[in-house]
Amino acid sequence: MQEQEATILKAAKQASEQWKGAFNAGDAAGCAAQYENNAVMQAKPFGTFTGTAEIQAFWQKLIDDGFTNVEYLNPQITVVDQSSAILTSRWQMNKASGVIHKELWVLKADGTAKLRTDEFEAIN
């Protein structure tokens, strides 16, 4: 199990870094590519977005509105089972900050991880 835990932890960390890199580069399609096709994103207070098209549109609007430089503050990744892990963290960017309540990363057959569930909140 330890080897499998290491595999999911590594995949989740890499995918999370890819998502942050895409966001900070202004690449909404790159952000959406880190989600499963039918992923559900709950972004408080903005709403719930289902599927990569809705999720990409949400990130594109934020990018178009000048949001950038996202950083995770003290992220914690907990392995749930042999194929998934949950990331929680505080976050900040140039125009907002908040909390990630639950990023559920799921290991895929190719060894990468994708977001199935993304629940976060903008506090200010």
Q: The domain spanning residue 24 has which CATH number?
A: 3.10.450.50
Q: What confidence tens digit (pLDDT) does each residue in 64-90 have?
A: 999 999 999 999 999 999 999 999 999
| Per-residue pLDDT, 2 | 87
Mean pLDDT in residue range 27-51: 98
Report the largest interatomic distance among the alpha carbons of the chain, rounded to a whole angstrom. Answer: 44
Q: What span, in angstroms and rounded, lies between the C-alpha atoms of 76 and 113? A: 16
| Per-residue pLDDT, 4 | 85
| Per-residue pLDDT, 92 | 98
Residues in the chain: 124
Q: How many structural domains are present in the chain? A: 1
Question: Rounded to two decimals, what is the model's pTM?
Answer: 0.95
* Domain housing 103: 2-122
| Per-residue pLDDT, 1 | 60
CA angle, residues 68, 10, 12, in degrees to nearest 5: 45
| Per-residue pLDDT, 21 | 98
